[in-house]
Structures are given as structure tokens and as C-alpha cells.
Amino acid sequence: MSAIPGTSATSLASGSTNVQNEKAMLDKDGFLKMLVAQMTQQDPSSPMDASQQTQQMASFTMVEQITNMTADNAKSAAVGMIGHDVTYIDPADPNKTATATGTVESVSLAKDGSYTLTVSGTPGIKPESITQVA
């Protein structure tokens, strides 16, 4: 019995609850918003412990660094494919079953911050659609 769609609760009889939502992810902006909300809503007569506040800021820094490292890795992986022959899922295929093959000519940065490839004159190929690199 779950009160929130997309979640599950277990061990209700024992008083502990385990909520799972695989789609829920907290990015660095969400973490910072949560931290600011927590600080603005705290009881002034009982403020957050300084060591706890330091731990949360360290966690925020770690989340930010991991996010930056992930972006750098995505860029390096995309740039590393230039000049290689690749097989990719054809974005023009509505069933996403047809593949195409070509040589990666360039890498572009999209407006949303993701990278796309130009493969044999076809722009906008997402790196995650690549199924084989030769």
C-alpha cells in the first residue's frame, strides 16, 4: 500500500518505511534549494548544528564536482569518436530499430548542455544512440 504513486513502502508494521522511486534524482540545483529551504525554515531558537551545516556544504561541493566530472567525461567521450566509424540507431526511424553507419565528423554542444555528433553529414546524433565504434 503506497500513498505516493510511483513509490513503494515496506515494513510499515515495524514502524520503518522504505520509499523507493527510481525516477527521483537530486541534482546540484535541487540540493542547494533544499539546503536553503532547510536553513530558512529552521527554528531560530534551535539552529542547525555547525558541524551538520559543514557536512551538508561538503556534500553539496561533492555533488557539484561529480556533476562537473560527468560533463567533462561526456565531452571527452564524444570528442574521442571524431574520425571513427560508428553504428547508431537512426533517429529518423520511429520504431528506433533501424541503424545507420558513418564516420563522426564533428561534435556540437546543444542548447541543453548535451553533446551531439555529426556523422557522415547527418547532424544531431546523440552519443547515447551509438551502438558500435570502430
DSSP string over 21-45? -TT----HHHHHHHHHHHHHHS-TT
What strands, in cross-sheet order, belong to the sheet with 130-133? 122-125, 115-119, 99-109, 85-89, 130-133
Per-residue pLDDT of the chain (134 residues; tens, 9 = 90+): 444 444 444 434 444 444 555 556 666 677 778 878 887 888 778 777 778 878 878 887 888 888 788 878 888 888 889 999 999 998 888 888 889 999 999 999 878 878 899 999 999 899 989 999 98
> pTM for the complete prediction?
0.53
Q: Going by C-beta distance under 8 Å and a sequence separation of 6 or more, which residues neighbour residue 59?
A: 31
Cα 60 to Cα 62: distance, rounded to the nearest angstrom: 5
pLDDT of residue 5: 46
CB 24 within 8 A of CB 34: no
